[in-house]
């Protein structure tokens, strides 16, 4: 059961052969920046655990995990489960988590070399995780925002599959943003046009930066925007100083930064990551409240970019029913959960089963609010 507690023990060359074509958050550069900035490890309650599988050609797969001493920064909420344990004076933490820290985006948690036996590697790594849970007496294993293929393998190993809800935008081969708007019913089309017009007449300059246009100053500006949002929401700033400047240097070809300026002063910005056919909206911040600016930077500019670049999927982050009227559709996300002790497993799996029914009903209701023409 090869296991390392830092990605540096694996190294960029071996890791590169495992990276996904459409998911930037499992790239070596992204996870390394998490470690280098101290956003994981140390006193964060996110202790990295990389499980490895090998074949005759070398490293064949890695399961990206963390030993957690809390449930912050996960976006699949299990606080009630922790309280359930506490009621019976049984510790819920530490637990074993397979996830990308602070990133509610669907993508692989098990990275597999392209020519390896994917099903066998997934099974081997999940079995290794179960052995760690039993040997270390961890309460549970959780794998968040996993792919359908991963979900199927986890289910084969007696994990309960939990459903959650997000809102995703999908490209229907739109020619441009106007073609996209033309697919809306009249009222919704006019609403979006008014929102964009308000921003256009506000005296702001909207600029996008990616690739070689990104600088360390952009990274520093994004850090201040991120901290501003955390302060306004009274939220924990999970990402530590240096994270943004490092990724702007190490993975600029996967970053889209959209900034709003006024009189050469930064007003607001949104940070997005893209790779292959997918775009992911991640962070937003503003120093001045301007009506509809959030929608312009986080949705409309990024939808335009997706159409121009032929991107097929845009995930704009967790929650947000307001996304529906702007063309995002309710979409299931998947997570897998294995509770070690039977006394706790049965009621938690009952909760997961009941929750699935409620989410299915919610999606049916939300679909009725679609802004698109029938």
118 & 99 share domain? yes
Residue 257's domain spans which residues? 172-311
247 & 297 share domain? yes
Q: Is residue 189 part of a domain?
A: yes
Percent of the chain surpassing pLDDT 90: 98
Q: Is residue 316 part of a domain?
A: no
37 & 138 share domain? yes
Q: Is residue 324 part of a domain?
A: no
In angstroms, rounded to a whole number, what is the distance separating the alpha carbons of residues 246 and 251? 8
With tokens 């997961």, the residue in question is 352
Percent of the chain surpassing pLDDT 70: 100
DSSP state, residue 240: P
In angstroms, rounded to a whole number, what is the distance separating the alpha carbons of residues 169 and 368? 16
Q: Is residue 317 part of a domain?
A: no
251 & 176 share domain? yes
CB 20, CB 48: distance < 8 Å: no
In angstroms, rounded to a whole number, what is the distance separating the alpha carbons of residues 336 and 341? 16
pLDDT digits (tens, 9 = 90+) for 188-218: 999 999 999 999 999 999 999 999 999 999 9
Q: Is residue 244 part of a domain?
A: yes
CB 146, CB 106: distance < 8 Å: yes
Mean pLDDT of 116-142: 97
Cα four-point dihedral sign 284, 148, 329, 162: negative
pLDDT digits (tens, 9 = 90+) for 21-80: 999 999 999 999 999 999 999 999 999 999 999 999 999 999 999 999 999 999 999 999
pLDDT digits (tens, 9 = 90+) for 8-23: 999 999 999 999 999 9
290 & 185 share domain? yes
CA distances from 299 to 146, 147, 210 (A): 24, 24, 17
Q: Where are the alpha helices (DSSP H) in 112-242?
A: 118-136, 148-156, 177-181, 186-200, 216-232
187 & 294 share domain? yes
231 & 288 share domain? yes
SS3 at position 157: coil
Q: Is residue 77 part of a domain?
A: yes
289 & 352 share domain? no
Q: Is residue 290 part of a domain?
A: yes
pLDDT digits (tens, 9 = 90+) for 338-349: 999 999 999 999
Beta strands in the chain (DSSP E): 3-4, 46-55, 58-68, 95-98, 110-112, 140-146, 160-170, 205-210, 255-262, 265-275, 278-286, 313-315, 329-339
Mean pLDDT of 249-262: 98
Which pLDDT value is given to residue 319? 83
9 & 135 share domain? yes
Q: Is 59 exposed, middle or buried (0-12, 13-18, 19+ CB in 10 A)?
A: buried
199: domain CATH number is: 3.40.630.30
87 — pLDDT class (breaks 50, 70, 90): very high
Q: Is 87 exposed, middle or buried (0-12, 13-18, 19+ CB in 10 A)?
A: exposed
Mean pLDDT of 249-259: 98
DSSP state, residue 364: H
96 & 154 share domain? yes
Mean pLDDT of 306-324: 95
pLDDT digits (tens, 9 = 90+) for 135-184: 999 999 999 999 999 999 999 999 999 999 999 999 999 999 999 999 99
Tokens of 352: 């997961």
In angstroms, rounded to a whole number, what is the distance separating the alpha carbons of residues 367 and 321? 11
1 — pLDDT class (breaks 50, 70, 90): low
359 & 287 share domain? no
Which pLDDT value is given to residue 374? 82
Total structural domains within the chain: 2
Q: Is residue 321 part of a domain?
A: no
157 & 184 share domain? no
Of 363, 364, 298, 362, nearest to 326 (Cα)?
298
Tokens of 134: 């039993």
CB 348, CB 81: distance < 8 Å: yes
């Amino acid at each position: 059961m090869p296991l390392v507690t830092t990605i540096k023990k694996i190294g960029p060359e071996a890791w590169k052969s495992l990276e996904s074509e459409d998911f930037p958050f499992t790239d070596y550069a992204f996870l390394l920046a998490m470690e280098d900035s101290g956003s994981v490890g140390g006193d964060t309650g996110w202790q990295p655990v990389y499980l490895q599988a090998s074949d005759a050609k070398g490293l064949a797969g890695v399961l990206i995990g963390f030993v957690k001493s809390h449930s912050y920064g996960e976006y699949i909420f299990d606080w009630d489960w922790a309280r359930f344990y506490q009621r019976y004076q049984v510790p819920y933490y530490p637990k074993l988590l397979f996830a990308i820290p602070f990133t509610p985006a669907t993508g692989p948690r098990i990275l597999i070399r392209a020519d390896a036996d994917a099903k066998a590697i997934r099974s081997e790594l999940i079995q290794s995780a179960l052995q760690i849970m039993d040997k270390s007496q961890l309460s549970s294993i959780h794998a968040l925002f996993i792919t359908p293929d991963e979900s199927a393998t986890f289910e084969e190993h007696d994990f309960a599959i939990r459903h959650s809800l997000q809102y995703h935008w999908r490209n229907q081969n739109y020619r441009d943003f106007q073609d996209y708007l033309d697919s809306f019913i009249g009222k919704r089309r006019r609403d979006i046009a008014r929102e964009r017009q308000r921003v256009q007449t506000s005296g702001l300059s909207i600029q996008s930066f990616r690739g070689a246009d990104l600088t360390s100053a952009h990274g520093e500006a994004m850090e201040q925007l991120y901290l501003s949002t955390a302060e306004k929401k009274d939220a924990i700033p999970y990402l530590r100083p240096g994270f943004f400047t490092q990724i702007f240097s190490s993975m600029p070809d996967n970053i889209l930064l959209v900034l709003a300026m006024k009189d050469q002063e930064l007003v607001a910005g949104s940070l997005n990551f893209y790779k292959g056919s997918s775009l992911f909206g991640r962070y937003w911040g503003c120093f001045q409240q301007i009506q509809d600016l959030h929608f312009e930077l986080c949705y409309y500019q990024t939808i335009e970019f997706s159409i121009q670049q032929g991107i097929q999927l845009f995930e704009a982050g967790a929650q947000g029913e307001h996304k529906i009227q702007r063309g995002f559709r309710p979409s299931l996300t998947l997570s897998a959960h294995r509770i070690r002790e039977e006394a706790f497993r049965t009621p938690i799996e009952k909760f997961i089963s009941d929750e699935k029914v409620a989410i299915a009903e919610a999606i049916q209701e939300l679909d009725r609010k679609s802004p698109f023409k029938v």
